[in-house]
A and B are shown apart, each in its own frame.
Chain A
């Protein structure tokens, strides 16, 4: 008797767990569960639903600012951000597992051939960062390229202390890495000491190692590292906008061509591309495209 009761309790618990595990994302899921979230009712006055964004880790501050502002004005909508890297975000759009993909590089031809389009929301500088204790203030693109490919291995060869250079980089699917390598001209030729999987990890590595140099989104750089000048130009909103800071790339939303977004996602996209969002993007450290 006891065994049957305990078996029954176990089955009831399993059933309750499975019900709770029901998905809550709006546009792509199909599982009908008792979970309360996620029906995007088309009430004209109030938007409800959820918007899933997935991709670039560099866009964290920008998406954070945009989603906060959007959720304040639309309390029925929940915007989520999954920082997985540009390559992963683009793949998620191809697989249909997210509403909006985020990428910190333009789409490649083979990605466009999969039926993807993009909308540029901002421009972002890729800051070259060194440790705060490093005396270097300025490097030319050629010097950066030589450091990245391993031709220059000691800080004293570029005017710094006598110690080995540690080149920090990102994983191969990173939009930041793609932008850095194509502009500096070292595609497929970089020799990294470490490959991290997010902008934050690169910054953390540079903060903790006085010999490190790396690249990270300008919007993510804070005072724990030093962003050096490239060819005499310091990275800032103005120099990214007028093109004098050479190492820059677009922040884009990635969409599937011809697919209709849910109301909430479309509204979020329109908001992000509108002039109202320009201040938010500027505060996040990037350069808005809509002015």
Chain B
């Protein structure tokens, strides 16, 4: 009897320890980011840093303006979401509501496989297939561009959106749909006017997951976007917040290195903001359904 109690307490302590470990990791990263990122922002001046349009970190007169990176990340993620969400949502609708069981069972593993492909493979396929295709179709001198990065990112966020939305749609209470059909709505009307609004917090969660992946993607984007610190233009060579850091981190020193940490801090804040929005949406959705 005593042994069982002891084991109970031991396991509780172990779980508590693991939880604390996880929180400690997040806290450590957050504190480290803030401590490493603040000095450069202080030295460069927060307004100059966030709104400066020129990034010339190794020039004789270094300039550290990250507006091009912020805008590129925002536009790139927004455009990838604009393409990925409709395609992902409609795929989820197809899988959850329209496809016959055996067809859905074959398509679902394919989408899950998309989630498992490493980002460097996406980059490789992007560089060998997508980039020359863009150069050919639009008659450009080169294909590495914001457009290539947007297309690669939208494919990368599809699996997150599809799988979470599908789960959300499948868990809509069948009574809602049956009631709608009984009142004379067609199947498609039911899906769009009843199921999707009912599943919207789950769908929002999937979308935010996708956005999180898109804004944090470095490897695939590095290979297709051109990596020159320009203000964003659809067919021009651009650098995202993530690739700005990975391009220069290995050899940076002094103020340049600290500025890279500050970029990481900005990225971290973006992601925290997105996670807050997710938490808020989930809570609100949960409350409404009560």
Contact = CB atoms under 8 A, between A and B. Distances in A.
Contacts of A188: 56, 58-60
Nearest to A201: B223
B256 to A, nearest CB: 9
Interface string A173-193: 100000000000001100011
B250 A209 contact: no
Contacts of A166: 141-142
Given A173-B248, A188-B60, A195-B227, A91 B253 contact: yes
B144 A194 contact: yes
Contact of A194 (B132, B227, B251, B253): B227
B142 A87 contact: no
Contacts, number: 65
B205 to A, nearest CB: 31
A164 B144 CA distance: 15
A269 to B, nearest CB: 22
Interface string B132-149: 100100000110100000
A93 to B, nearest CB: 12
B247 to A, nearest CB: 6
Interface in A42-97: 84-88, 90-91, 94
Given A188-B56, A208-B132, A209-B135, A193 B141 contact: yes
Nearest to B61: A188
A158 to B, nearest CB: 15
Nearest to A3: B11
A172 B228 contact: no
Interface string B241-285: 000000110111100000000000000000000000000000000
Nearest to A165: B141
A90 B251 contact: yes
Contacts of A196: 227
A85 B142 contact: no
A164 B235 CA distance: 14
Interface in B198-233: 226-228
Contacts of B226: 193-195
B195 interface: no
B247 A209 contact: no
Nearest to B132: A208
A195 B250 contact: no
Given A193-B228, A193-B237, A209 B142 contact: yes
Interface residues of A, number: 28
Contact of B248 (A86, A90, A171): A171
A171 B252 CA distance: 11
A121 B135 CA distance: 41
Given A88-B250, A171-B248, A172-B248, A194 B142 contact: yes
A163 interface: yes
A244 interface: no
B119 interface: no
B250 A193 contact: no
A211 interface: yes
Contacts of A287: none
B57 interface: yes
A194 B237 contact: yes
Contact of B250 (A85, A163, A164, A208): A85
Contacts of A209: 135, 141-142
A188 B59 CA distance: 6
B251 A87 contact: yes
Q: Which of B11, B56, B59, B251 is packed against the most chain A CB atoms within 10 Å? A: B251
Contacts of B227: 171, 194-196
A163 B58 CA distance: 31
Given A188-B60, A192-B228, A171 B144 contact: no
Interface string B1-27: 000000000010000000000000000
Contacts of B56: 188
A128 interface: no
Contacts of B237: 192-195
Given A173-B58, A188-B60, A197 B247 contact: yes
B141 A163 contact: yes
B142 A172 contact: no
Q: Give the 8 A-B CB pairs with smallest separation, nearest first.
A: A87-B251, A173-B251, A164-B141, A172-B58, A88-B250, A88-B251, A188-B59, A195-B227
14 contacts: A85-B250, A88-B250, A88-B251, A90-B251, A166-B141, A172-B248, A188-B58, A192-B237, A194-B144, A194-B227, A194-B237, A195-B227, A196-B227, A212-B142
